[in-house]
């Protein structure tokens, strides 16, 4: 019985790995933690103005911003003026 040869990683998988390894927020994580992120992460692209999440929604993931050409507006709710 011959086992198949290992397949090279796709360029998308390599880009994701590079993004995780080089993201400033993740500097100093242990290799096991980085590996867990790599094994469970998805690379997503959003259009300008597209809503990614809304304040108060249940959280089932977190986002690392790889690049952004614009500043994101964060709207506060339930604020009272003095």
**73 within some domain:** no
**81 within some domain:** no
**82 within some domain:** no
pLDDT computed for residue 33 by the predictor: 92
CB 16 within 8 Å of CB 43: yes
**59 within some domain:** yes
**3 within some domain:** no
User: pLDDT tier at 6 (50, 70, 90 boundaries)?
Assistant: very low
pLDDT, tens digit, for every residue of 45-59?
888 788 888 888 888
The residue segments making up the domain with residue 55 are 10-67
Q: How far apart are the first and last CA of the chain?
A: 76
Radius of gyration for the alpha carbons in the chain, expressed in angstroms and rounded: 18
pLDDT computed for residue 3 by the predictor: 52
pLDDT, tens digit, for every residue of 13-46?
888 888 888 888 888 999 999 999 888 888 888 8
DSSP helix/strand/coil, 76: coil
**39 within some domain:** yes
**35 within some domain:** yes
**Alpha carbon distance 61, 44 (integer Å):** 13
If one counts the domains in the chain, the total is 1
């Amino acid at each position: 019985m011959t086992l198949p040869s290992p397949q090279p990683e796709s360029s998308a998988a390599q880009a994701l790995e590079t993004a995780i390894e080089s993201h400033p927020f993740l500097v100093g994580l242990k290799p096991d933690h980085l590996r867990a992120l790599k094994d469970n992460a998805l690379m997503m692209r959003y259009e300008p103005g597209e809503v990614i999440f809304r304040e108060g929604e249940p959280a089932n993931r977190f986002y690392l911003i790889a690049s952004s050409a614009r500043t994101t507006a964060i709207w506060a709710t339930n604020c009272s003026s003095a």
